[in-house]
Structures are given as structure tokens and as C-alpha cells.
Amino acid sequence: MRRTLTMAVVAAALLVPGGPLPMAATGSVAGAAPAATVAAGRWTAREARSFWTAERMASAVPLPSVHPAPPEPVDPAPPAEPEPVDPVPPAEPEPVDPVPPAEPEPVNPVPREPPTLPEPAPGATPVPDATTAPPPVVTEPLPAPSASPAAAPTPTPTPAPAMKPGPTRTAPASVPLPAPAPPVVPRLPALTAGIGQNFDGIPVAGRMFLVKGGGAYFCTASVVSSPGRNLVLTAAHCLLGSDTQQVAFVPKYTKAKPQPYGMFPVVRDAAGRSRIWIDPRYRSRGVDRAAALDVAFAQVGPDARGFPVESVVGGNRLVTGAGYAHARITLIGHPSSAARPRVCANRTTKFTSSDAQIPGSFLRINCTGYPGGTSGGPFLNRYDARTGTGDVVGVIGGWKTGGDRTDTSYSSYFGVDIRKLYEKAVAGAKAAR
């Protein structure tokens, strides 16, 4: 599964159809101070939907490889579009960006004001009580004194219940709207071990769109269950760099139905930086020496109706320490030029790198047709066809950013380091609310 692109594709990646993306209040080019340009304005679901139109999403391309040494050095001189000194695909800015702080403004308050109406006292018949049902209470005591037609005005508050603040009181209950209906989980096609097929996708996985260096790009991402119901999981190399902006997750994206479950923007902190958690060693050591840490979590805000992503599409359970060998893993990814995602099932094996420059052990799976764009796609163990979720034990990324061939993919091992990173993301997302 090749994460590197040919030079022609890389050149095209930076020239999104229709010219460079508008960057006003959207982010900074490499080298500029990100906080100064990004802090202007918020990044909500409505703004994300306005920016990531169907046309812009369709024109997005996989990120150019951050790996400096593609395994096919035979490639002759690249096409003569750039300068003669055309290097290997432009490397993403080296990770100088620290892990985002955990002190942003509250993002998703969930007001809970249950309407409470006073219970009428069983034997009481006070006239001022507008909430009690007048007919039964009034008719018992009043027939005895016949000379009290003057008591007739007493029931006259009967119209009052119609005007009581009941409808007004129920307004707060409409803020937390009824929970979204469970997502429709399509049946997976009949799968032959190791053979990938395009399909309509599952709600819990989708594309992660982002702007980097003025171009529109995407990777694959998936929802991971968390207390805040607001975390997505992808590969760290997809979100690396201080110029990564306008990040948004779109579950079950296809070209025909770009937003079947809406859009969830990656939250920004008070300084305007996207709330992304990547192990600091991955940033400092680089994608090769820290290949075993090619994992990232991102906090996404609610959709345009105010629902958190996990409430809308569900979430996979993060499992760490499960070993390298699994009898059947379901692999989901969004290939570079495909209009639909891809699915494959096969066993995984342990791969230990013999390259001292890229140390570590990784999960390996043979599945055909996983090129650029599939980075960040989940390795799902025990996939449940009823819920469309499973145990996520890996993501495409790690050894040579996920693999140097389209038919073999790798994942960093989900051990203690990934568990700690997840816990850090959970704590940070909770503090941000």
C-alpha cells in the first residue's frame, strides 16, 4: 500500500482545481506564525460545511508522502512542471509544533434543565393553583353552599391552564434534541481473504479533510469511543505540521453522497490550533525513527444540530495490548482516486523492521488496492455487522507511513504508549468542554 505519490501527482496536489484555496482566516503557510492567523473566527460545523463544499472535497487528494526515500528510486526525472531541481515529494514541515494545550474555551455545553411542575396537594382546593385540574377539585366542595354563585368566578381561572407557562417550560427540553436514530449499517460485500473491494462504507469511518500549504488533502479516520463521545482516530503523519488547518471529519463519505451523516470540525483551542494529540516523540524524532508511534487522536465538535459524532454514527472500542496476530481483521480505507471507500478482511502477522533507521515491530496485513488516502484507516477486530463497529487494534501508518506497496499495509502496535496517548486525549477533550 503505497503512501508515496509520483512526482506528477505531488505537483498536482499543490495545485487544487480552481487555484489555491482561500486562506483568509483559515491558516498559515509554512513558516508563518500560526496563532496570529488562525485565532480569528471560530471553526464550527456550519463553517466547516461552508468551506468543505462537495466540489472541494471531491478535488482533495491524498497527502504527499512525508517519507524522504521512496522504495522505487528507479523513477526517472519527474515531469518538467516544477523547477529542474525537483526533489522527492515536498516533505511536510518538521514537527516543531508542541502538543496542543488543554485550556481552550468550552465547546459543547449540554444544558440539562428538566421541566418540573408542582404536584397538586391531594386534598387542597386553593383557588390560586392554576395547575390543578379545576373541574374535579371545584365540583366537590362547591355544590353544598347554594348561595354561593359568587363561587362561580372561582373556577374562572380555568382558562389560565391554557395560558400557563407549560409550553415555555418545555422549551429547554428541546435544546437537547431527541437522540439521533441509529445509523443504517449496510451489509459488507462477500469478502475473499486479502482481496479488497470498493463499497458504500460504514458510518463509523470516513474521510478526514484538511488544508496544508494551500492545498486540500484527505486521509482516512474513524470514531473511537470515549467519555466525551467526540474523538476520532487516524495516523499521526496525516495531521503533522503547524500549517495543518481547516480539519474536518466526514463519516461514510462517498462522492455520490458527500455528507450522509453531516460534518464534524476538529475543535480549535484558544490560540487557534487544532486539538490534535500526537506523541511528542513522533514530532521530535520524525516519522522514521518514531514510526511505531504513527497514531493521532483529534477532538471533533458537534454537527450542525449539536450532536456529538459518537451519538450520530457510533464508535469503535480502542483495544491495546492485543498482540500482533489476529485471525480476521476488517480493513477500511479511502483510496486516492476512488469515489467510494474500500474494505478487505484478512489475518495479520507481526513484522519487525530490520532497518535501523525505522525501528520497531508492526502489524502487517495483505489486502489489495490500498494506495494513498487510506492512511489512518482502522484495523477492526471482531467487526459487528449489526452495529458496524469493532475493536480498533491499529490504523494504517507506521512502517514507511503505512507501507510502500498498495497490497500490503502496516500499523503501529497499539500498546502502552497508545493507551497513554488516548487517555491524554480523553482528559484534554474533557477539560475543553
CA 165 from centroid of its chain's CA atoms: 40
Give the per-residue pLDDT at 399: 87
Can you tell me the mean pLDDT for 94-102? 43
Percent helix, percent strand, percent coil in the chain, to nearest 5: 20, 20, 60
Residue 114 DSSP SS3? coil
Specify whether the CB–CB gap between 341 and 205 falls below 8 A: yes
On average, the pLDDT of the chain sits at: 76
Cell of 216: 486540500
Give the per-residue pLDDT at 36: 30
Assign 174 a pLDDT band (cuts: 50, 70, 90): low
Name residue 404's amino acid. Answer: D
Can you tell me the mean pLDDT for 306-321? 97
Question: Is residue 21 predicted with pLDDT exceeding 50?
Answer: no
Residue 303 DSSP SS3? coil
Question: Is residue 139 predicted with pLDDT exceeding 80?
Answer: no
What is the H or E stretch that residue 209 is in? strand 205-212
Give the per-residue pLDDT at 433: 67
What is the H or E stretch that residue 234 is in? strand 231-234
Cα 302 to Cα 359: distance, rounded to the nearest angstrom: 38
Residue 378 DSSP SS3? strand
What is the H or E stretch that residue 160 is in? helix 159-163
Q: Are strands 264-265 and 245-251 parallel, antiparallel or unpaired?
A: antiparallel
Return all residues near 83 (Cβ < 8 A) that are at least 6 apart.
none
**Which of 174, 175, 132 is closest to 157 using CA atoms?**
132
Cα 203 to Cα 193: distance, rounded to the nearest angstrom: 23
Cell of 172: 429547554
Assign 45 a pLDDT band (cuts: 50, 70, 90): very high
Specify whether the CB–CB gap between 218 and 207 falls below 8 A: yes
Give the per-residue pLDDT at 2: 45
Cell of 336: 486516492
pLDDT tens track for 187-234: 999 999 999 999 999 999 999 999 998 899 999 999 999 999 999 999
> Who has greater pLDDT, 422 or 182?
422
Give the per-residue pLDDT at 425: 98
pTM of the model: 0.69
Cα 115 to Cα 182: distance, rounded to the nearest angstrom: 27
pLDDT tens track for 107-116: 444 344 444 4
Cell of 273: 490550533
Question: Is residue 120 predicted with pLDDT exceeding 50?
Answer: no
Assign 412 a pLDDT band (cuts: 50, 70, 90): very high
Cell of 346: 484478512
